[in-house]
């Protein structure tokens, strides 16, 4: 029994390794595989962005193949932002497009043999916190403090703040649920693939490609879409409707 | 009372198994969402893309509770928090 457990532990590789140990103000800290794959994702995106910027800067009247692809991506992302946020989209489509491309590349980097950076809670939680910060900033920018107070006591009148703590908790749950959703989806995909490759050994040839299509491509794309959609919806709600 | 390592590992495995029972809820919920989306497409085939994206968004949000259960199972299996006090 004990031997079996140990064997399973050693052959299933979830790919979360420390690569380099260093001392951070006296604390022992690690550069892990997450950092390395994050670096790769960033490099790919930066190189792509530089080439895309060059292509658009000297854009031809009749676009070439690469310029066409870049324009298509930008158009699709802008269309997504405008479809959800309406006329508020102009300010936020840069941010939404950026996190869309970043999360999408992070999620499908499992196909390149990297550990998806989004399978680390340290990557997804900051993204959730950014959304939370955007929501708060917009709430204070577009509403008077009295309106916010009324909203926070919402089902009851503002002089009776019994629901206030519950509303605060539900607001604080937003970044946590946003980041945990993305994190748990990608992590479960990663662990599932690690189990398939680790436990089935030689039997896991060729056919796991179908699982990769589901766990990496489909699940990753859906979660990216959901994260961006929810971010836009929350920010739009915070701005409030003068439709 | 003292428990040995194997007993705690076994209990962690049982707990992980119980935690993923949470998957029943999202399964039922996503099925209902997909069924209603199919009915909506049948009634109004023109709005297929909007219905599909709304359905996927709702399903992904409904999936969260199941994923929390899965997360607990992973924690119990890989991080083994119950073993922290033992030797």
Map out the domains of chain A as residue ranges.
Answer: 2-238
Distance from C-alpha of A20 to C-alpha of A36, rounded to nearest angstrom = 10
Select the residue of A184, A191, A226 nearest B57 (Cβ to Cβ).
A226
State both tokens at B60: 């992904």
* pLDDT score, position B32: 96
Contact B33, B55 (CB under 8 A): yes
Buried/exposed code over A107-118 (b: 16+ C-beta within 10 A; e: otherwise): bbbbeeebbbbb
Q: Tokens 């999408």, residue?
A: A104
**Interface contact B56, partner A, CB < 8 A:** yes
Q: pLDDT tens, A188-218? A: 888 888 888 888 878 888 888 898 899 889 9
- What are the tokens at A142? 């577009």
Rounded CA separation A237/A139 (Å)? 9
Closest B-chain CA to A228: B57
Confidence tier at B33 by pLDDT (50, 70, 90): very high
Of A180, A175, A73, A176, the closest CA to residue A118 belongs to A180
- Cα–Cα distances in Å, from B5 out to A5, A40, B82? 12, 40, 10
What mean pLDDT comes out for the span B56-81? 88
Note the ipTM here.
0.82
Q: What values do phi and psi take at A24, rounded to 5?
A: -115, 100
Amino acid A83: pLDDT: 86
Residue A140: left (phi > 0), alpha (psi -120 to 50), or beta? alpha
Residue in the block written with tokens 């959703």: A181
Reported as a pLDDT band with limits 50, 70 and 90, residue B1 is: low
The CATH number that domain B17-80 falls under is 1.20.20.10
User: Which residue is closest to B73 within chain A, CA to CA?
Assistant: A188
B63 touches chain A (CB under 8 A): yes
Q: What are phi and psi of B80, to 5 degrees?
A: 50, 60
Structure tokens at A103: 């999360």
Band of pLDDT at residue B57, cut at 50, 70 and 90: confident
A226 to chain B, minimum CA–CA distance in Å? 6
* pLDDT, tens digit (0-9, with 9 covering 90-100), for B58-70: 898 888 889 999 9
Query: What pLDDT score was predicted for residue A4?
Result: 43
Distance from CA of B57 to the nearest CA of A (A): 6
Interface of A with B in 11-70 (CB under 8 A): 14
pLDDT for A2: 42
Cross-chain Cβ contact B74/A223 below 8 Å: no
Range A136-143 average pLDDT: 90
Q: Mean pLDDT in chain B?
A: 89
Q: Report the largest interatomic distance among the alpha carbons of chain B, rounded to a whole angstrom.
A: 66
Spatial separation of the C-alpha atoms in residues A25 and B32, rounded to whole Å: 53
**pLDDT, tens digit, 9 for 90 and up, residues A15-54:** 677 777 878 787 888 888 888 899 999 999 999 999 999 9
A181 by DSSP, 3-state: which?
helix
User: Do the chains contact at B56 and A226, CB–CB below 8 Å?
Assistant: yes
């Amino acid at each position: 029994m004990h031997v079996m457990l140990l064997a399973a532990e050693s052959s299933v590789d979830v790919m979360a390794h420390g690569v380099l140990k260093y001392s951070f103000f006296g604390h022992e800290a690690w550069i892990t595989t997450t950092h390395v794959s994050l670096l790769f994702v960033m490099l790919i995106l930066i190189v792509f962005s530089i080439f895309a910027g060059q292509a658009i800067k000297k854009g031809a009247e009749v676009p070439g193949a690469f310029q066409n692809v870049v324009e298509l991506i930008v158009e699709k992302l802008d269309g997504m932002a405008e479809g959800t946020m309406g006329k508020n989209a102009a300010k936020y489509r840069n941010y939404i497009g950026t996190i869309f491309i970043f999360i999408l590349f992070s999620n499908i980097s499992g196909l390149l043999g990297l550990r998806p950076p989004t399978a680390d809670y340290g990557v997804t939680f900051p993204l959730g916190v950014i959304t939370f910060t955007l929501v708060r900033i917009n709430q204070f920018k577009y509403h008077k403090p009295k309106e916010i107070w009324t909203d926070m006591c919402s089902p009851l009148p503002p002089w009776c703040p019994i629901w206030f703590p519950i509303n605060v908790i539900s607001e604080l749950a937003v970044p946590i649920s946003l980041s945990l959703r993305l994190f748990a989806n990608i992590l479960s995909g990663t662990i599932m693939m690690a189990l398939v490759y680790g436990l089935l050994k030689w039997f896991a040839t060729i056919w796991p490609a179908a699982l990769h299509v589901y766990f990496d491509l489909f699940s990753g794309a859906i979660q990216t879409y959901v994260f961006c959609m929810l971010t836009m919806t929350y920010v739009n709600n915070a701005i409030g409707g003068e439709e | 009372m003292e428990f040995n390592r194997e007993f705690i590992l076994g209990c962690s495995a049982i707990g992980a198994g119980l935690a993923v029972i949470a998957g029943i809820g999202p399964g039922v919920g996503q099925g209902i969402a997909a069924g209603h989306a199919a009915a909506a497409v049948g009634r109004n085939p023109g709005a297929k893309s909007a219905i599909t994206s709304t359905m996927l968004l709702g399903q992904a949000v409904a999936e969260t509770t199941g994923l929390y259960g899965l997360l607990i199972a992973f924690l119990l299996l890989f991080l083994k928090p119950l073993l922290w006090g033992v030797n």
